[in-house]
Structure 1
Amino acid sequence: MTDSGFDLGLDDASRTGVYFVTADDIGTLDMASRDAGLLARRIDLRDCADKATLMLRLSTALDFPPGSGRNWDALSDRLRDLSWLPAAGYALLFDDARDLRDADETSFDTLLEILDEAVSDWSQRDVPFWAFLALPEDEFEQS
């Protein structure tokens, strides 16, 4: 049992992935990630309209080492390394992902591809790596 009283299995590297969630879920996932012993980092994408802003916000949230490039290849390398942030696993929680998606769909799609690659790479090392991207609730189908 975790400190929060529920276990989402976030410490299981075989279940990791890139997931769309509602904005209301991000706080709970942040807490649950920390309860699972993961390093959780929130990345605010509110008003993020382009690649340059995305790179700045990621490098700030993840404390990228000085001299880190601000291009897609460098981002991919950094997300598959994270040696400057040693942890049992990682959870990236993206607030307001719709802002980037709507402003720069190409950058949004590239980010998703890079996150998928990072998930796969960490999973092969049996290290949990999650990415949760918050979209408005009205974008999810009601059942």
Structure 2
Amino acid sequence: MSAMSQKLQKVLAQSSFAGIYHLPHSDCKALKQAALALGYGWLQTDFGDSREIAAILKKIGKDLRLPDWYGANYDALADCLTDLSWNTAPGYVLLISGADEIHARDSAAFDTLNEVLAGVIENWQEANIPFWVFYDGRPNGLAPLPTLTPQ
């Protein structure tokens, strides 16, 4: 495991920090290694060249292999991500790539998507299960990853 993976594993283990962040250094491989080392469920989607939120919501459903009843809308996304009984784990990490286009073209849709994801995170926090969301791309106002001070 790389030094970056070990660092990320320490951060991911601090469930109180779970939230929506920009992934520094585009280190997707290290993030995945850290998540899997903790036994967390790994979820990944790439918006690719999708420019409309409807296409993005469909892409999320396909990439995450959401249930057949997923309706490719915000409410259905929240419902599916708050009931991961088909993928039980002590925590979850969702990596989102390719979001720069939708953020630039439709910031309201991007903000609404993040509101939905924030609600998902809160729901899991009530069960003491961390749900992390990372964007791989330009920071665009997203929070930086928390750092831990040595103890």
TM-score by length of 2: 0.80
Contact 1:43-1:95 at 8 Å conserved across structures: yes
Distance 1:102 1:69, change over 3 A: same
Query: What 5-or-longer segments of structure 2 have no aligned partner?
Result: 143-151
Structure 1 counterpart SS, 2:51: coil
**Residues matched between the structures, number:** 138
CA RMSD of aligned residues (A): 2.2
Match of 2:49 in 1: 47
Cα distance in 1 between the residues matched to 2:2 and 2:28 = 15
Cα distance in 1 between the residues matched to 2:139 and 2:80 = 31
Contact 1:18-1:131 at 8 Å conserved across structures: yes
Pair 1:112 & 2:114 matched:
yes
Match of 1:125 among 124, 127, 144: 127
Cα distance in 1 between the residues matched to 2:103 and 2:54 = 14
Pair 1:60 & 2:80 matched:
no
What is the deviation of 1:69?
1.3
Cα distance in 2 between the residues matched to 1:119 and 1:41 = 14
Contact 1:23-1:96 at 8 Å conserved across structures: no
Distance 1:67 1:134, change over 3 A: same
Structure 2 counterpart SS, 1:40: strand
Structure 2 counterpart SS, 1:32: helix
Cα distance in 2 between the residues matched to 1:30 and 1:72 = 26
TM-score by length of 1: 0.84
The letter of the residue matching 2:43 is R
Cα distance in 2 between the residues matched to 1:97 and 1:8 = 26
Cα distance in 2 between the residues matched to 1:139 and 1:128 = 22
Match of 1:29 in 2: 31
Distance 1:49 1:63, change over 3 A: same
**Residue deviations 1:53-87, cap 9 Å, x none?**
11111111221111221211111111111112222
Percentage of identical aligned residues: 31
Contact 2:2-2:30 at 8 Å conserved across structures: no
The letter of the residue matching 1:83 is S
Pair 1:70 & 2:59 matched:
no
Cα distance in 1 between the residues matched to 2:125 and 2:118 = 11
Which segment is superposed worse, 37-46 or 118-127?
37-46
Please state which structure has a larger fraction of its residues in helix: 2
What is the deviation of 1:43?
0.8
Cα distance in 2 between the residues matched to 1:96 and 1:79 = 20
